[in-house]
Amino acid sequence: MGASALLLRDEHGQIVIVKPHYKAVWHLPGGLMETDESPRLAAERETFEEIGLQVRTKRLLVADYKSATEARPACMQFIFDGGVLSVEQLAGIVLQANEIEAWQAVSDDDALALVAQGGPSSRLANALAVLESGVPIYLEDGQTV
């Protein structure tokens, strides 16, 4: 079991985040991997399903092992670089009405704060650091090891 997301930015470096109907938290476009689906393809498919954009992944930023809890089994979560979206792409965003209620492009700090409302934002913080360093990172429960 696992999930994948794309880190998408606008031409000003703001991060695209989405707000699902079924959660109180904002997150990057993405979701659960399907059976026999790679993390990269899951990130692309989920992004298309959630916001209607076909975006190719650029590179892996973060792989995060999440330990099992009473609510879910252990899983891997991935963040890929989706690159910079053009003004035309942003204008072409179409939300999946039954799943996503809103999207916005926000600063790094605002994205971290909005994602943190639902729990730790360390995976996103590490993904942003990798954009600068160029070196992908492995995490366990959102923390470096």
The verdict on pTM exceeding 0.75 is yes
Residues 38-65: pLDDT tens digits?
999 999 999 999 999 999 999 999 999 9
pLDDT tens sequence across 88-123? 999 999 999 999 999 999 999 999 988 876 555 688
Confidence (pLDDT) at 117? 60
Report residue 24's pLDDT band, with 50, 70 and 90 as the boundaries.
confident
Give the CA radius of gyration of the chain: 14
Residue 54: other Cβ atoms inside 10 A:
9
Residue 100: CB atoms within 10 A of its CB come to 20
Q: Range with the lowest mean pLDDT among 17-31, 70-84, 113-127?
A: 113-127
Place of tokens 């989920």: 46
Nearest to 53 by CA among 78, 22, 87: 87
Query: Could you give the domains of the chain?
Result: 2-144 (3.90.79.10)
**Beta-carbon contacts of residue 88 (< 8 Å; ≥ 6 apart):** none
